[in-house]
Structures are given as structure tokens and as C-alpha cells.
């Protein structure tokens, strides 16, 4: 991503935060993939693997931007179970996509919400893997948002003992972890 595109992302982010009346400052961090213990760099997002990113088009390069937002309005920005934050990210991604002509995944971390949630998801993924292996059966993890399922998929990607996949549609979508066939 070049400096011109970063400048566009910064301007759009500033406008959106002003529009929703959120005071604070932010830092844009360019990323390409979420690293996982199983692989040096993740290869594809869950949506891209399923061919659903960008209205059915694959997210070819998995390009993403992390934004660290510092604000006194942390609770308002995060909302109930992160719903407001998820909506803000979607709107920001769509605004940026219109301007750049391509989809860029936007991830906003405010008040270390995503960092803390990611740490919890790592623990959940490892505990679920251990239960799957000890019980020898698949286990479902319900009620995860798409970005949370993506993190678990990336963490378990390339694992020699288990595989993960998403099943269901909409709010009924669950992440399933199961032992690999021997």
C-alpha cells in the first residue's frame, strides 16, 4: 500500500469518526496477514476460502489495515458485544473500497478490546483443540463474529491434528473443530 492510499484511508477515517461524533486520535498500521503459530503467514481469510469476500469475489491478497483508536468514548465505540465496532469497521471498509476501487479489510482496536478478545480466542482455540483430541469428536464453537472465526481458523490452519470449518448461515453460523482423518 502506497503513501497516497494510506493518506486516503486516514482522511476517510477522520471523516467517519467526526460524522459519528467520536473524539480521539488514531494510528494506521498496515498489515497483510494475521500470523498463526501453525504457519508463518496466514494464506486466506475464512470468507476468501469460502469465496464470499467482496460479494462472492475472493480476497486475492488478504490485504488489511489495522487502526488503533484512542478515545474516551471506548464503550460507545465498542457497543454491546462489539456490535457497534463491527458496524463501524464495515462502514469504513466500504467507504475505503469505493475510493480505492478494491476491498481492504479494516480492523479497529479501541481500548485493547480486540487484543484482549484475540488473546481469549487463542486460549479458546487451544482448549477446544485439546478437548477434540481427548474426546475424539468434533466440537462446535457458537456465537463468534466473523472476525473471531477468522482468528481461530488462522490459529488452527496448518495444524497436523485438527481442522476447523464454519457451518451454517448468518447468526446461526458456528465454527467446528474436528480431528483430522488418519
More confident of the two residues 149 and 41: 149
pTM of the model: 0.72
- Beta-ladder partners of 166: 175
pLDDT digits (tens, 9 = 90+) for 50-106: 333 333 333 445 688 999 999 999 999 999 989 999 999 999 999 999 999 999 889
- Give CA–CA dist 75/155, Å, rounded: 28
More confident of the two residues 30 and 150: 150
Provide the CATH topology of domain 116-179: Ribosomal Protein S8; Chain: A, domain 1 (3.30.1370)
> Domain 3-111: what homologous superfamily?
K homology (KH) domain (3.30.300.20)
Mean pLDDT throughout 19-46?
62
User: Domain residue spans in the chain?
Assistant: 3-111, 116-179
- The overall average pLDDT reported for the chain is 84
b/e per residue 22-31 (b: at least 16 CB within 10 A): beeebeeeee
Amino acid at each position: 500500500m502506497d503513501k497516497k492510499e494510506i493518506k486516503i484511508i486516514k482522511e476517510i477515517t477522520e471523516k467517519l469518526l467526526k460524522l459519528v461524533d467520536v473524539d480521539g486520535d488514531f494510528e494506521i498500521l498496515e498489515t497483510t496477514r494475521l500470523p498463526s503459530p501453525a504457519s508463518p503467514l496466514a494464506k486466506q481469510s475464512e470468507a476468501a476460502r469460502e469465496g464470499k469476500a467482496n460479494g462472492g469475489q475472493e480476497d486475492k491478497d488478504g490485504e488489511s489495515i489495522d487502526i488503533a483508536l484512542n478515545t474516551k468514548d471506548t464503550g460507545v465505540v465498542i457497543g454491546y458485544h462489539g456490535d457497534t465496532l463491527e458496524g463501524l469497521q464495515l462502514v469504513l471498509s466500504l467507504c475505503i473500497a469505493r475510493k480505492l476501487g478494491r476491498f481492504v479489510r479494516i480492523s479497529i482496536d479501541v481500548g485493547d478490546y480486540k487484543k484482549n478478545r484475540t488473546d481469549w480466542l487463542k486460549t479458546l482455540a487451544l482448549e477446544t483443540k485439546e478437548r477434540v483430541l481427548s474426546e475424539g469428536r468434533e466440537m462446535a464453537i457458537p456465537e463468534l463474529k466473523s472476525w473471531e472465526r477468522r482468528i481461530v481458523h488462522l490459529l488452527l490452519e496448518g495444524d497436523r491434528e485438527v481442522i476447523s470449518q464454519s457451518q451454517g448461515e448468518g447468526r446461526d453460523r458456528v465454527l467446528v473443530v474436528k480431528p483430522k482423518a488418519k
